[in-house]
C-alpha cells in the first residue's frame, strides 16, 4: 500500500469526512465531486489535516469521466490503493407517486455510479491489491416505506459488493460495504421527491441523529483496518439488522405501521 485513495462525492458530507480521516494518516487523496467549490474546500481541509492530493470534477453517471479520473490517479499517484464510491443522492415518495424519471435518476447515480466507479478503477486495484469501499445505506437492508427507488439502488450496491467480495478474492482485492442509517449530512440538498412533506420528514430524521459524518468516517476507518466486510456504523442499525435476520415479519409489520403514520402526516400537511 502506498497510501493513495480515491473518493467520489468528496465535496461535502461523508465523502469529505472520509478524506479528512485518511488525510490525518498522511494519505494522498484523489477527490471528485460535481461541486468544484466543495472540492476546493475539501482539498484545503485535507492539507490542513496532514494529507495532500488533487481534485477533479466528475459526474459518476458518465463512465468516460470516471476512466479519465482513474488515468489521472495513474499519472499523478502511479496508481491507487483504495477507492471509495460515495457519491449519492436522496429521494423519497410512495411508489405510486414516484415517476420513472425519479427511478432512472436514482439508479443512474446511486447504483450505476458505483458500478462504473468499480469498473473504471479495477485494473489499478488489481495492480496494487487494493480495496473497494462502497457506501450503501441501512435502506439497503431495512427497506423503509416511501423510498422504494432509494432502497432498490442501495440494495443493489450491497449485492454488487457481495459479488465483488467473492469474485475479487483470488486477485487479493478487498471489498467493504458501508450501511449508515440517518446522520447529520447535507444529503437533503440533492433530495428529490414528489411532496415537500416527505423532505421535511427526512430532514427531521437527519437532524435528530446523535452521530455525525465524522463519527461514521472514523468507524469506517477502524472497521476497514479490521477487515470487516459489512460495516454498520449505527448501533441501532446493527440491532435492527439482527432483528430482521431473526424475525423479518416483525420488522415488516413495524414498517407497515410507519407507512400508515407517514400517509396520515402527509394528509394533515396537505389538508
DSSP E strands in the chain: the ranges are: 4-7, 28-33, 52-57, 82-85, 131-135, 174-178, 230-231
Which residue out of 63, 150, 219, 252 is catalytically annotated? 150
C-alpha 53/C-alpha 76 separation (Å) is: 9
Catalytic site includes residue 150: yes
Nearest partner of 241 among 111, 95, 137, judged by Cα: 137
Q: State the DSSP code for 138.
A: T
Long-range contacts of 229-232 (CB under 8 A, 24+ apart): 229/161, 229/165, 229/175, 229/176, 229/177, 230/158, 230/176, 230/177, 230/179, 231/176, 231/177, 231/178, 231/179, 232/138, 232/179, 232/180
Q: Could you list the active site residues?
A: 150
Amino acid at each position: 500500500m502506498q497510501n493513495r485513495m480515491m473518493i467520489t462525492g468528496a465535496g461535502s458530507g461523508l465523502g469529505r469526512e472520509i478524506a479528512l480521516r485518511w488525510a490525518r494518516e498522511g494519505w494522498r487523496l484523489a477527490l471528485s465531486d460535481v461541486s468544484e467549490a466543495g472540492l476546493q474546500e475539501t482539498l484545503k481541509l485535507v492539507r490542513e489535516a496532514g494529507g495532500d492530493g488533487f481534485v477533479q470534477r466528475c459526474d459518476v453517471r458518465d463512465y468516460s469521466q470516471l476512466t479519465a479520473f482513474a488515468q489521472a490517479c495513474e499519472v499523478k499517484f502511479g496508481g491507487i490503493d483504495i477507492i471509495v464510491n460515495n457519491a449519492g443522492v436522496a429521494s423519497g415518495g410512495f411508489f405510486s407517486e414516484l415517476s420513472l424519471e425519479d427511478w432512472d435518476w436514482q439508479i443512474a447515480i446511486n447504483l450505476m455510479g458505483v458500478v462504473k466507479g468499480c469498473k473504471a478503477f479495477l485494473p489499478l486495484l488489481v495492480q496494487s491489491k487494493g480495496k473497494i469501499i462502497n457506501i450503501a445505506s441501512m435502506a439497503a437492508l431495512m427497506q423503509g416505506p416511501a423510498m422504494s427507488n432509494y432502497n432498490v439502488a442501495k440494495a443493489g450496491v450491497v449485492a454488487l459488493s457481495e459479488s465483488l467480495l467473492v469474485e475479487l478474492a483470488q486477485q487479493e482485492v478487498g471489498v467493504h460495504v458501508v450501511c449508515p442509517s440517518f446522520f447529520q449530512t447535507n444529503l437533503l440538498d440533492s433530495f428529490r421527491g414528489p411532496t415537500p412533506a416527505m423532505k421535511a420528514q427526512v430532514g427531521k430524521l437527519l437532524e435528530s441523529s446523535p452521530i455525525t459524518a465524522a463519527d461514521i468516517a472514523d468507524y469506517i476507518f477502524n472497521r476497514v483496518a479490521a477487515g470487516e466486510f459489512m460495516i454498520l456504523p449505527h448501533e441501532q442499525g446493527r440491532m435492527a439488522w439482527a432483528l430482521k435476520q431473526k424475525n423479518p415479519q416483525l420488522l415488516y409489520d413495524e414498517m407497515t405501521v410507519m407507512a400508515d403514520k407517514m400517509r396520515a402526516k402527509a394528509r394533515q400537511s396537505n389538508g
